[in-house]
Structure formats: C-alpha cells, structure tokens
C-alpha cells in the first residue's frame, strides 16, 4: 500500500471514529425532547409569568426553547421537498425563517393548551442511523393526545424536524398545502403568503 493510500485510509478511520464519539456522547432523542418540553411547561406554569404584563417575557422564553430544539432548515427542506431547489438561496433563507415562525406559533398554541396536563414519554423508534421518533402523550381526563417528535442528529445534537399531533404530521400537512400553491404560482407568491400569515 502506498503512503498516499495509507493516509487516505487513516483519514477515513479517524472520521468514522469522530462520528462514533459524537454519537456516543450526544444526549439521546428522548433525553433531549423531554428536557425541552419540561422547560417549556415550567415557563408556562411559572406564576411570575401569568400576568398579561409578562406575556412578552414568557413568549421570549418559549421561543428560545423552540429555537434550541427545532431544526428549521431541515423542516423547510422536508416540507418543500423537490420544490426547495426552485428557491434561490435568499428565498430559502426567508422561507426557513417565516416557516419556522409559523410552525413555532402552531406548536406554541398546542403546548399552551396542554400546559395544565401531564405529559408522559414512551417508545423511541430509531428510523435510521441519524433519525428517530419519540412518542409522547398528553394525559387528559378524556382521550389522551398523542404527540410524536421526529428528530435528526446534527453536529452531535438531536433536533426536531417534524411533529405529529394526533396522527397529523405538520410537515406533511404543510407540504400538501405548499405543493398546491407552487403548482401554479412562484416561490415569491408562497413567500408573500407566509409573510401575511406571520405578520403580527
């Protein structure tokens, strides 16, 4: 074996070892999402943040948690699917920002509605080497509400790329809506719609 080939093989081995070490020391998908959901519920249940005057501070804290656990770029790519390439880099960046704001708002509304309920976590399904689904359930006196988090390992951290609420995937739901828009309209038209939806 030549010196060059030996060097290449060494680089491959080191890269594989580095990836294995990152995976080994990363928090599990369950640990990651349970910690973040618990943090969000603590904020929502904080008596000091109940007053209307504390609404902005409460929302700021919740958004910080969402931004930490959601992979908005992965969410955006999976939602647009093949249409992602139709967007310029600038449009992709704006779509990611606007769609993240939209999805974050939807998720926040849900978790606010369940803030006084108990959330339990259950089965974790490994979907691939770098993706997993964590099942959770909002325990209610009536029917429980299943919420499943689909997560991806990126740079040693598990991030959410889809949320399935009562059997409905947020990514799949919006993918269908956006696909219908993009069949006859341009990426700019979709961005205009998102700007209007996320404008306060």
Tell me whether residue 3 is in a domain: no
Full residue range of the structural domain in which residue 156 is found: 28-198
Q: Please give the tally of structural domains in the chain.
A: 1
From first CA to last CA, the distance across the chain in angstroms is: 65
Tell me whether residue 95 is in a domain: yes
The whole-number pLDDT of residue 36 equals 93
Tell me whether residue 12 is in a domain: no
The whole-number pLDDT of residue 72 equals 94
Tell me whether residue 20 is in a domain: no
Task: Dig out the tokens for 160 from the structure.
Answer: 């959410």
Residues near 108 by beta carbon (within 8 Å), at least 6 away in sequence:
59, 62, 63, 66
198 vs 111: which has the higher pLDDT: 198
Residue 167 φ then ψ, to 5°: 85, 0
Mean pLDDT in the chain?
84
pLDDT in tens, 141-195: 778 889 999 999 998 999 999 999 999 999 999 999 999 999 999 999 999 999 9
The whole-number pLDDT of residue 16 equals 40
Residue 26 φ then ψ, to 5°: -75, 145
Tell me whether residue 176 is in a domain: yes
pLDDT in tens, 35-67: 999 998 898 888 888 888 888 898 889 899 999
Band the pLDDT of 25: cuts 50, 70, 90: very low
The whole-number pLDDT of residue 26 equals 59
Region 90-103: what's the mean pLDDT? 94
Tell me whether residue 5 is in a domain: no
Here the CATH number for the domain that contains residue 157 is 3.10.450.710
Tell me whether residue 2 is in a domain: no
Tell me whether residue 44 is in a domain: yes
């Amino acid at each position: 074996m030549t010196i060059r080939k030996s060097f290449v093989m060494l680089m491959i081995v080191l890269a594989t070892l580095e990836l294995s070490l990152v995976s080994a020391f990363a928090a599990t998908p369950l640990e990651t999402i349970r910690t973040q959901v618990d943090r969000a519920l603590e904020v929502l249940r904080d008596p000091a943040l109940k007053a209307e005057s504390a609404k902005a501070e409460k929302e700021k804290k919740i958004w910080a948690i969402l931004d930490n656990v959601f992979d908005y770029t992965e969410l955006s790519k999976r939602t647009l699917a093949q249409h992602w390439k139709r967007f310029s880099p600038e449009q992709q960046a704006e779509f990611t920002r606007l769609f993240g704001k939209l999805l974050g708002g939807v998720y926040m509304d849900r978790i606010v509605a369940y803030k006084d309920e108990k959330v339990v976590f259950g089965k974790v399904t490994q979907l691939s080497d770098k993706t997993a689904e964590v099942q959770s359930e909002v325990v209610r006196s009536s029917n429980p509400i299943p919420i499943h988090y689909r997560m991806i390992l990126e740079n040693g951290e598990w991030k959410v790329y889809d949320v399935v609420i009562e059997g409905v995937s947020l990514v799949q739901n919006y993918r269908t809506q956006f696909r219908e828009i993009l069949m006859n309209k341009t990426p700019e038209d979709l961005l205009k719609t998102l700007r209007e939806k996320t404008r306060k």
